[in-house]
A and B are shown apart, each in its own frame.
Chain A
């Protein structure tokens, strides 16, 4: 599989503070890769290096096999969409006018504006001045701008942090559709539910170092204590190991029609993160 992002021994030091230390990872074409960690873990620094907004102190970073320091050429810019905490909009202009500018800059037909506004549920607000929008709406306009040129690679830094659950779900659906069409997504978040919903693979970043990296499902299984939770009709909740030693007991409950639900007791990504780093994801 082709690598879209390749990072080798990446380090970034600000003064005497180490933001990233010996970071290695690769993101394959068509993958949704989650870069997870609490605030200050180094997620935004990584995105800024990968998008050519920041120079690393040492190590290598490649996007489309091109060193990130050489990503400034227009043809490469057209392949990448970036949403970071320092993305801004022209406040005196309408949503439509903001998107029109970027349509022309990316040489995209203006008919695309309606499509992206639909993706972020803002079709009816397009004539509104940006200065009159709520924080959530601003975030959705920024996402629409990022989707405008249908990039091959999307860098999204906390894309749904300001959104309500309904709009978050709509953005997740849009991201899934883009991913199905072949867009590679590099997502930073501290929302573990978002990561579990969207990502093929996740990396846990803590204090500038990658602590763990794998598929969410595999991680949950790996950190599972192999127990199942059995909820019975009499209100009891039993916790049993999933091995053969309890098979007969569970079978009996089933035969007696006593079971309301039975499910594995896997940890969430958040639980695993806390387990590994001893830090909460805030």
Chain B
């Protein structure tokens, strides 16, 4: 499988320029930043749960939504087929197309952390966990983008996922009472929160391995499904 940085950069540059002219998709980054402002109002320390409501919303709305919308638009406008018929490989196309969403995610989350005043005890570990989680959200966005036919359809299809992964933590108090909600503990957003809580009480890399492994399983499932659907989409 070929891996050309030039091709990846070409797709990235194109997406960056294209997205800078797309107000509909670009404006979504306002959502988590606005939420961060709301949570930062008032005295006292912001609890971890609220920091991660903002971070998970950034991951599901910025990472997953933007990725989903740009892929769906490529399908809607018949431009994805042009990329597929070019010498660019699946890895080059998907990497190139993920970079813009990833960079916007980094900028949004960094801004949100500054606004809410989130200063984790072990920043590198938190960054690692957020990065691994963002890979899952990229895969989710790509998958849903490939499964839908237009930006409008993609915007609707991704909504339940934004609620589940962005606001899922709000359902945590009910998990004890409603058994079937227990699966939510294994979602990447919940694992991210667990890592954050652990880090604050001095957990090291080995202590969060299990949580990271669970997120990695989600990444793996997301990537496999994405590759499968992409391969199917190469054919009419």
- The residues of A with any CB-CB pair to B shorter than 8 Å are 48, 51-55, 72, 74-75, 77-78, 80, 82, 86-93, 97, 100-102, 104-107, 145
Contact = CB atoms under 8 A, between A and B. Distances in A.
Contacts of A75: 87
B236 to A, nearest CB: 5
Interface string B84-107: 011111000000000000000000
B236 A53 contact: yes
Interface in B39-62: none
A97 B17 CA distance: 9
Interface stretch (B73-81, B145-153, B211-219): B73-81
A237 to B, nearest CB: 50
B194 to A, nearest CB: 41
Contact of B77 (A74, A77, A91, A104): A91
B7 interface: yes
B7 A93 contact: no
Nearest to A72: B234
Contacts of B78: 86-88
Report, as a range, how many residues of chain B touch the other chain.
20 to 34
B235 A55 contact: yes
Contact of B18 (A93, A102, A105): A93
Which label, helix, strand, loop or mixed, suits the secondary structure of the B interface? loop
B10 A105 contact: yes
Contacts of A93: 14, 17-18, 21
Contact of B86 (A48, A53, A54, A105): A105
Residue among B2, B6, B17 with max Cβ neighbours from chain A (10 Å): B17
21 contacts: A53-B234, A53-B235, A74-B88, A75-B87, A77-B85, A86-B81, A88-B78, A88-B82, A89-B77, A90-B14, A90-B77, A90-B79, A93-B14, A97-B17, A101-B10, A101-B14, A105-B83, A105-B86, A105-B87, A106-B87, A107-B87
Contacts of A97: 14, 17
B81 A74 contact: no
Contact of A90 (B18, B235, B236): B18
A145 B83 CA distance: 12
B7 A104 contact: yes
A90 B22 CA distance: 12
A145 B204 CA distance: 53
Given A77-B85, A105-B87, A54 B7 contact: no
Instruction: Give the 9 A-B residue pairs with the shortest CB-CB distance, closest first.
Output: A88-B78, A104-B10, A74-B87, A88-B79, A105-B86, A77-B87, A92-B21, A88-B77, A101-B14
Contact of B85 (A55, A82, A104): A82
A48 B236 CA distance: 8
